[in-house]
Amino acid sequence: MRKISKAKEARKNSLKKQISTQKKARKEQKAKLIAVNAKIERLKKARKDLKGDVDDLKSFKTSLGTSLKVNKESFSGDREMKFEKKISDTKSEISSVIKKHNNNVTRIDDKITSLQETADGISSSIDAVNFLIDGLSSNMNAL
């Protein structure tokens, strides 16, 4: 009977060690999940800010054409053409910046999607570790 007790005790210690190892792994995974979720939140804020900037640029571009109209009586000839060209060049440059910002919004969206997939994988890993810990605990309690 003493031999069975020693075997039980050895098995119990082995299960305790496995549970401890799995709890450590779970803790590490939770830390990773927290870090990934923080990155996602930062990117969502950056995306929101960038989209706001794009909207502001679009509004500015629209107002630029309406607020800086050429007065045909005081502006004519070469001066008028230079002024119109500068307005056109400025609008073109703003359009270029808007396009770059929109590309960056798309890149941020892609990164958010990637990080969300990573977070889902980590969550699944945590669930699997929890299931394993529960199984090990049940085995240990059955001894």
- Read off the pLDDT of residues 55-101 as tens digits, 9 standing for 90 and up: 999 999 988 877 767 666 666 778 778 888 988 999 999 999 999 99
The residues, ordered by sequence, that sit 6+ positions from 24 with a Cβ below 8 Å of its Cβ are none
How do residues 109-134 score in pLDDT, each as one tens digit?
Answer: 999 999 999 999 999 999 999 999 99
* Residue 90 vs residues 18, 34, 72, 102: alpha-carbon distances, Å: 66, 44, 20, 18
Contact 85, 71 (CB under 8 A): no
* Residue 34 vs residues 28, 31, 41, 121, 140: alpha-carbon distances, Å: 10, 5, 11, 13, 31
Q: Given a cut of 60, is residue 1 above it in pLDDT?
A: no
Closest CA to 57 of 85, 93, 88, 87: 93
- In this prediction the pTM is 0.80
What is the pLDDT confidence band of residue 138, given thresholds at 50, 70 and 90? very high
How do residues 11-48 score in pLDDT, each as one tens digit?
Answer: 989 999 999 999 999 999 999 999 999 999 999 999 99
Q: Given a cut of 90, is residue 8 above it in pLDDT?
A: no
